[in-house]
Amino acid sequence: MQKIPVNEPAISKNALKYVTDCIKTGWISSSGKYLKDFEQKFSKFLGVKHAITTTNGTTALHLAVLALGIKEGDEVILPSHTMMASVAAIVYTGATPVLVDVERDSWNMDVSQIEKKINKRTKAIMPVHIYGHPVDMDPVIALAKKYRLYIIEDAAESTGAEYKGKQTGTIGDIGCFSFYANKIITTGEGGMMVTDNDKVADHARLLKDMAHSPQKRFLHKEIGFNFRMTNLQAALGVAQLEEVKKYIQKKRWMAALYNKRLSKIEGLTLPIEHDWAKNVYWMYGILVEKDFGISRDEFMQKLFRKGIDTRTFFIPMHRQPALRRLGLFKGEKYPVSDEIGRLGLYLPSGLAITKEQIEIVCRAIKDIRNDVQKL
């Protein structure tokens, strides 16, 4: 039986060459030519002034919150349906995360719910472009202008996605990206914070490097952090970035094939793409609705027995024990986040996936549906 992983990265052709160069020259730590090259090429790809490498997507978000001066007593609004890193980056600073529910069709934050959560403590909105589809940003921008709030885009899953022709991560004050092994481009672990604000960029660069004083190293006027990417990781990133357009095309091809094969199967809700959006389908997510005939978890078990790996959608933030122990979200209800968290999963979606593998997955799903109908 062929095993089909939920994700397998594509390693670009120059990766070994660039990483080997780091090893041969001894530039393997947090200095070296590939770090600067990666930042410059990523900023050019996005069309932003500043790109700042970090150790991962979580620290990129943490650095963004720190660089904007958000602190204890401040509040940041974000969706309940997200990965823990989004909330953790806020909590790390002592600030308070404030949740809104999400849309049933896009699975992104319901922007119509944001304004009622804004108060005098609110400092920022954090839209999360979930699974590669952009948030509807115009209403977010309007609210940020009206109430003088920052926008921190969590674009960890949406490298190359577009909102009305503009790339995600470049629309707000700061954008944050992840280069984990399952992302559109990877450095193994790694992240990037981007901005057009010179002052914010300077502060972020200071903080990510232990806040060594620019005038005198080992003199620290504030507490900094070690969020430095290595030259080895950046070398891999440079090689990956050379292939990014091809990777995005591969993701969209994958989604189109899944859509074609699965669209007529009753009981499955497939991912959407709004007219104003370019979805990069970081993962191909589906909902297993009640009328499919079995639960999401039973569906996953049946696929697993056929050698097909899957992953559930995120457990909503208001359901997280670690956050509840902090006294957060008591008595709060986010029914759509709960529902898609219960019904959602993503199918094998990695950049190494083949047409044959997608066909195998789709045939397996059709077989499961046919078996359920016979019961």
Q: Which domains does the chain have, with CATH numbers?
A: 15-241 (3.40.640.10), 244-374 (3.90.1150.10)
pLDDT for res 54: 98
- Token couple for 47: 């069309």
The torsion region of residue 181 among left (phi > 0), alpha (psi -120 to 50) and beta comes to: alpha
Name the residue type at position 234. Answer: A
pLDDT attached to residue 13: 86
Question: What is the predicted pLDDT for the residue at 374?
Answer: 84
Q: Model confidence over 2-17: pLDDT tens digits?
A: 799 999 999 988 999 9
Provide the pLDDT for residue 52.
98
Of the candidates 30, 99, 92, 98, the one whose C-alpha atom is nearest the C-alpha of residue 64 is: 92
pTM of the model: 0.97
pLDDT of residue 375: 74
**Residue 77 has what pLDDT?**
99
- pLDDT value of residue 209: 96
In this predicted structure, what is the pLDDT of residue 212? 94
Which of 128, 158, 177, 163 minimizes the C-alpha distance to 251? 158
Name every residue whose Cβ is closer than 8 Å to that of residue 28 and which is 6 or more positions away in sequence: 22, 230, 231, 232
From first CA to last CA, the distance across the chain in angstroms is: 26
Say which DSSP state 299 is in.
Answer: H
Catalytic residue among 13, 123, 183, 278: 183
Whats the size of the chain, residue-wise?
A: 375
3 counts as catalytic? no
Closest CA to 187 of 152, 128, 233: 233
Distance CA 290, CA 303 (A): 18
Rounded CA gap, 63 and 205, in Å?
9
Low-confidence ranges of the chain (pLDDT < 50): none
Give pLDDT, residue 320: 98
Give the 3-state secondary structure of residue 14: coil
Contact 221, 319 (CB under 8 A): no
Place of tokens 């389908």: 281
| Amino acid 214: pLDDT | 87
The CA distances from residue 65 to 9, 21, 154, 207, in Å, are 30, 35, 11, 11
